[in-house]
A = this chain, B = another copy of it.
């Protein structure tokens, strides 16, 4: 498996590393030496004596536990860690020789990153586990590398959050953006306004003790926690508790369907600011990070347009429209945040000349807004292109660079702080969320950490597959739910034909699912699409397989439908999959016929090829909210045949 060992420089473009060890994100500089540091019981002890940051000591203990599980060697790395005081500098330098390892970092955070890299360097060798002699210099390209998790639309318990924090640390993500309120749920205990959790959460909320626990857990892993309380729109769950905050009087209940709701807070009344001042004061004390996310996206002006009081307020304050009114609201909120020592961050709708330069814009609607803001001296982060809930392939996200296409000076570029992968929760719950974040978020993590020139997709996927498996046994459960969920669909019986269909399929995301039957937050996420992965590893392998392997797989697909239909005959959960299964078998038969033509000498009839292409186009449309990835290798072969 060790194919290449090329010293990698930050300036080197398009270097392929498909080799072990699978480093992700790829460091700035990797120079392999000769020889190996062997890991065994007597090879040495770890010491963080040169580190004032106590987090490093705890990280070493976790590192030792990881090595023990992986290699069977309880303690065995002669590793010395030195680091500077706490600072923003996340750089580190790692030197492994055949006799020892030395990790030197500017700060505790840098040391944590260096340990994450060292963990990825451990590999089996002929005489035992070992680490290649190597010199690594590394630092992040962007300081803000985040994962946003929506816990409002579906409830995500503490232990799921914590295991995702572990996975984030493993790929050097350093900001956990916790989307804690939305129309569908308010998820934090407020002692000042307990109705928020009592009437806005269906009982699913984090206690303040749990919040502190998670913040501490994250901090220990070098991760900041930025809370988001989305205002003034997306607040239906607040209004269920405190209807007096709404622009239009009424009674409100927790949102159950998707999309932005009409009700919004009333920015014209002082009581609203008094409420938010008290609330923000309470939350500012709970979340120590300097930033406080106020959402601000998709404010529906319907209630404002309909309110005589709001219209009078606009005239009185010379505000020309709803966006101006929102800016007025944000200015007021910004002053409250300032009072509590917090910096404002919000979605790109909060961008407005009247707001101070200190605010940070999270760009979700397009990439241009971020560049424009940067040119105006505004700081921002990119989330457009990093929406995990669309279930796009990792390669798509990997191709999105926060500085793509923007002609920025160095100074302007520094305003682009980084980016955040976003996990919106319309179609995920505690059972499925891991599989929708990982491993794809690791590709985004590499985009935000590694050099701009590191863009080779084959290298990324080769390393991603290893990272994905390592994440699984270190705690995240993105692969664990697959088989049980498929077994559940068949009433507890072995689901081999269903697994073959699932392996050949890719789940579709928000765009496709929101077209389908009306889903609500109460709809169980227990269908085939929920079990199926966003990307099929086995189909990706087929795209690089030889013809014998393809023939075997096509044969399996061709024969699968008969077995599947027998399984589905009495099972309503499988009814929607009957056409899909038929298509898979058709793909198998088509693939076998193409292989037949390729094995023969003459060309295939043009009309036949055209008919197959038409059929492939039909098959590649979403069906039961999944797409048959299996069509891709068949299409590749058909194109090859057509070229003959």
- Hey, which bits of chain A sit against chain B, CB under 8 A? 1, 20, 22, 68-74, 123-129, 159, 431, 465-467, 469-470, 472-473, 477, 479-480, 483-485, 487-488, 490-494, 522-524, 526-527, 569-574
Contacts and interface: CB of A to CB of B under 8 A. Distances in A.
Given A124-B571, A124-B572, A483-B479, A524 B68 contact: yes
A480 B480 CA distance: 5
B473 A480 contact: no
Copies in the complex: 2
Contacts of A473: 484-485, 487-488
Given A69-B488, A479-B484, 7 more contacts: A69-B431, A70-B488, A72-B526, A74-B523, A124-B573, A127-B572, A469-B494
A643 B477 CA distance: 50
A124 B488 CA distance: 10
A254 B397 CA distance: 51
A483 to B, nearest CB: 7
Contacts of A465: 492-494
Nearest to A39: B572
A488 B122 CA distance: 12
5 contacts: A22-B492, A72-B527, A469-B484, A469-B487, A477-B480
Contacts of A127: 572
Nearest to A480: B480
**What 6 pairs across the A-B complex have the smallest Cβ distances?**
A466-B492, A124-B571, A473-B484, A480-B480, A472-B484, A469-B487
A118 to B, nearest CB: 15
Nearest to A569: B126
Nearest to A65: B524
A481 B604 CA distance: 48
Contact of A472 (B1, B22, B487, B574): B487
A74 B127 CA distance: 56
A494 B490 CA distance: 26
Contacts of A569: 126
A572 B129 contact: yes
Contacts of A472: 483-484, 487
Contact of A1 (B70, B71, B493): B493
A484 B493 contact: no
Nearest to A67: B524
Contacts of A570: 124-126
Contacts of A477: 480
A573 B69 CA distance: 11
A283 to B, nearest CB: 26
Contacts of A1: 493
Contacts of A571: 124-125
A305 B424 CA distance: 69
A125 B490 CA distance: 11
Interface centre among A126, A159, A488 (most CB of B within 10 A): A488
Contacts of A523: 72, 74
A17 to B, nearest CB: 15
Interface centre among A22, A484, A526, A574 (most CB of B within 10 A): A484
A198 to B, nearest CB: 18
A22 B488 CA distance: 14
Nearest to A429: B69
Contact of A467 (B466, B492, B574): B492
Contacts of A128: 572
A41 to B, nearest CB: 11
A574 B124 CA distance: 10
B69 A526 contact: yes
Nearest to A157: B159
Nearest to A571: B124
A536 to B, nearest CB: 13
A470 B485 CA distance: 10
B491 A20 contact: yes
Given A72-B526, A480-B480, A526-B68, A123 B573 contact: no
B522 A74 contact: yes
Contacts of A479: 483-484
A394 to B, nearest CB: 16
A530 to B, nearest CB: 10
Contacts of A72: 523-524, 526-527, 573
A466 B484 CA distance: 11
Nearest to A541: B494
Interface centre among A467, A473, A477 (most CB of B within 10 A): A473
A491 to B, nearest CB: 5
A480 B484 contact: yes
A492 B480 contact: no
A12 to B, nearest CB: 25
A69 B473 CA distance: 25
Contacts of A123: 491
Contacts of A466: 491-493
A126 B491 CA distance: 13
A72 B574 CA distance: 12
B70 A526 contact: yes
Contacts of A69: 431, 488, 524, 526
A352 to B, nearest CB: 42
Nearest to A72: B524
Given A68-B526, A570-B126, A573-B71, A493 B480 contact: no
Contacts of A527: 72
Contacts of A526: 68-72
Given A72-B526, A526-B68, A572 B125 contact: yes
Contacts of A573: 71-72, 124, 129
A523 B159 CA distance: 26
A232 B632 CA distance: 68
A128 B493 CA distance: 17
A516 to B, nearest CB: 13
Nearest to A568: B124
Contacts of A467: 492
Interface centre among A465, A479, A490, A491 (most CB of B within 10 A): A491
